[in-house]
Homo-oligomer: A and B are copies of this chain.
Amino acid sequence: MVAELRRWVLGQPLATAHVTHEKLSKVKALAVFSSDALSSVAYATEEILIVLVMAGTSALHLSMPIAFLIALLLIIVAASYRQTIHAYPTGGGAYIVSKENLGVYAGLMAGAALLIDYVLTVAVSMAAGVAAITSAIPWLAEHRVLLGVLFISFVTLANLRGIRESSNIFALPTYLFILSILLLISIGWLKYLLFGAAPVVAAYSPEPVQGLTTFLILRAFASGCTALTGIEAISDGVPAFRPPESRNASITLTWMTATLLTMFIGITSLARLYGVIPHEGETVVSQLARATFGGGPFYYMVQATTAMILILAANTSYQDFPRLSSIMARDRFLPRQFANLGDRLVFSNGIIILGVLASLLIIAFDGITHALIPLYAVGVFLSFTLSQSGMVVRLRKLRDRGWQRRAVISGIGAIATCTVLFVFATVKFIQGAWIVIVLIPTLVFAFDRIHRHYDFIATELTLAGFERPREIRHIVLVPVADIHRGVVTALEYAKSICTEVRAVYVDLGVETTRKMRDMWKQWHPDIPLVVLESPYRSVIEPLIEYIDEVKKDENLDVVTVLLPEFVTPHWWQGLLHNQTALLIKGALLFKKGVIVTSVPYHIEGQR
């Protein structure tokens, strides 16, 4: 029944032969790879304003210079990633680039940063997606945690089914989102230019709670840097492009950067023109759309496409997290289970873990985007820095024609992102960045330990130098408490696997022991019945002592302990039986040279 439910939810298993690799045109690839990057337009501007407004509404004018600085950073990083696309036509994720060029530990750091980043992408995107919805439908706001978890569950299930044949379902929402935002920006600017003054957005006017310090400006900048998240997606996925892969990927990256820049600067400038003040309950984009379109169908289109692209952005992590964790599991830095391709041709364990972790984040941070942001960019910028530093090292090593120019580009990228990383880690430290700063080395340590463990086991199990064991000397012991069909069945099995079989009985009273001996003579005169004393009424301890004694005295390699058990018609009836067998199994679990086998006797009746 469970199996059927599973089939119904997740679909029929897919044969290995069905693994296909769709090759994407540039237009489709832009849709598939850019949702994460473009969707940050939905919250990046707002994150800048939320920080600035703490110094009063007059500080909001700083949003424009900050936005231009971020745009510059974006161009540098994009230029740097163009190098990676050409250097790694098979896909150059930060883990691979760092590991190959900077060493294993750098690779593990990048891996840890990326895995954390993917989990946060899901949590942040879902929280922001829910905020887009609750801005339009305010009464849903109090259910934001539930909504976030439901969306995550839905995307998790969809990915467990496998949504590989999916480039088409990406294209429409992504282009609709781009269209909506560009429309919003154009109409917004047009209104301003035509009517001279902007429409009033809100009467809300918060008091400044602190002065306009450099620290605050840096915090606003750091918050805005979330606009860069997702920019690396194309360089990870070069093989998915139509040939010439690198060239197409590179062109698509340029398109994506240009689109992202236009939208980010456009929204930020519009927010400035309209004097938008960020507040709980309605997102900045929603305020702008409402002011521009007046709450009609265009307003709802902006909100709906924003929510959709955010959900798609979360979905990209569902491709990346399982893929990276399977690569790391194959490199033996993660438990082997992450490398198993499930029966729907997806790495099911990675998908499930991702969904669970992201849901926990949503719950822990009460579904508030702004609260999650301080955790977000540390991982992203660490992986940027490592990946670009790796490129510099690589270019220096290979010394291809024109390598100096390219190394300078990557070097500038590395320095810029590293600077942002330190700024971010410093100014957001107490608000949550510390969690990630602690987590990354912890994960690196764990990866390392797992790797060492697998190496150690492989060494221990190697057949090189292993003497093949001689013939095994063993006996079979059958603990019995009674004589019934289950016991008789077990004894017959025991006789079939070994020439020497002994039944072992623990003496719990003179009278019952006498009866047992009598019964035994009648039913199994051929098998000796060993009666063990038990002054403390324990069944386990005398048994273990006897096993040790027999094994030592008779110089045996293995003692097989056969436990007669019966299988009841219903599983819950089993709770009323087999308790002693369970205790014996527990006690013998780690005992060397002892093999424990349950011999089930199936009860057939109707009760």
Contact = CB atoms under 8 A, between A and B. Distances in A.
B538 A13 contact: yes
B16 A604 contact: no
10 contacts: A337-B579, A343-B538, A456-B605, A463-B483, A469-B492, A472-B492, A567-B590, A592-B602, A595-B597, A596-B597
A401 interface: no
Contacts of A595: 493, 597-600
A566 B493 contact: no
A10 interface: no
Interface stretch (A38-46, A88-96, A219-227, A446-454): A446-454
A562 to B, nearest CB: 9
Nearest to A12: B536
B15 A607 contact: no
The secondary-structure label for the interface of chain A is: mixed
A460 B537 contact: no
A469 B488 contact: yes
Interface string A459-480: 1111100101101101000000
A215 interface: no
Interface residues on A, range: 35 or more
A428 to B, nearest CB: 34
B457 A603 contact: yes
Given A457-B577, A468-B488, A595-B599, 18 more contacts: A14-B536, A16-B535, A16-B537, A335-B576, A337-B579, A343-B536, A343-B537, A343-B538, A456-B605, A457-B603, A463-B484, A466-B485, A466-B488, A469-B488, A469-B492, A474-B493, A567-B590, A595-B597
Nearest to A568: B457
A485 to B, nearest CB: 5
A194 interface: no
B484 A462 contact: yes
- Kindly name the residue among A337, A457, A468 whose own CB sees the greatest number of chain B CB atoms within 10 A: A457
A209 interface: no
Given A15-B535, A568-B457, A595-B599, A492 B463 contact: no
A422 interface: no
Interface string A349-385: 0000000000000000000000000000000000000
Which 10 A-B pairs rank lowest in CB-CB distance, beginning with the nearest? Answer: A461-B484, A497-B497, A13-B536, A597-B597, A15-B535, A472-B496, A456-B607, A460-B603, A469-B492, A461-B485
Given A335-B575, A460-B605, A576-B453, A496 B484 contact: no
B336 A463 contact: no
A490 to B, nearest CB: 10
A558 interface: yes
A148 interface: no
A566 B536 contact: no
Contacts of A469: 488-489, 492
